[in-house]
Amino acid sequence: MVVGNITEHDIDRLFRALADTTRRDILRRTLVGDASVSTLASYYDMSFAAVQKHVAILQEAGLVTKESRGRERHVRTNPDHIQRARVLLTQLEGLWHERGRQLDDILTDPHKE
């Protein structure tokens, strides 16, 4: 499956990043505006370094951008990559529905070719 010029490796990184609750929460918090990594870390019961690691995984997947402002790093969700995930899920849903229709056809008329 290919969306635009996204590779299978990109797809794996995207869904790996989305598979974690904390990372999805970081995306929600930074969707409407940026937040410093320090601010994000204050929301979670984990170390600053652990939050930085979550942000790095999101950044590798292209889901967030990080910008330096003085001594702080500010994180913002990249809506274009969120859209990519939606398109990929829509394609998978279409494939799933088509396979279901094919199965229905086989079960309705098992001798049909």
CATH topology of domain 8-108: Arc Repressor Mutant, subunit A (1.10.10)
Give 49-77 pLDDT, tens digit per residue.
999 999 999 999 999 999 988 998 999 99
How far is the C-alpha of 7 from the C-alpha of 67, rounded, in Å? 26
> Any bridge partners for residue 66, and if so which?
75
State both tokens at 60: 């590798």
Least confident of 18-22, 32-36, 39-43, 101-105: 101-105
Tokens representing 111 are 């001798």
pLDDT range class, residue 29, cuts 50, 70, 90 = very high
- What is the distance between the alpha carbons of residues 52 and 72, in angstroms, rounded to a whole number? 12
Q: What is the pTM of this model?
A: 0.76
pLDDT reading at 113 higher than 80: no
Of 57 and 102, more confident: 57
Question: How much is the mean pLDDT over the chain?
Answer: 88
Give the pLDDT score at 35: 95
Domain boundaries, the chain: 8-108
Alpha helices in the chain, H assignment, sequence order:
8-18, 21-29, 37-42, 48-60, 79-108
β-strand 35-36 against 64-69: which pairing, if any? unpaired
Q: Can you tell me the mean pLDDT for 12-23? A: 93
Residue type, 29: R
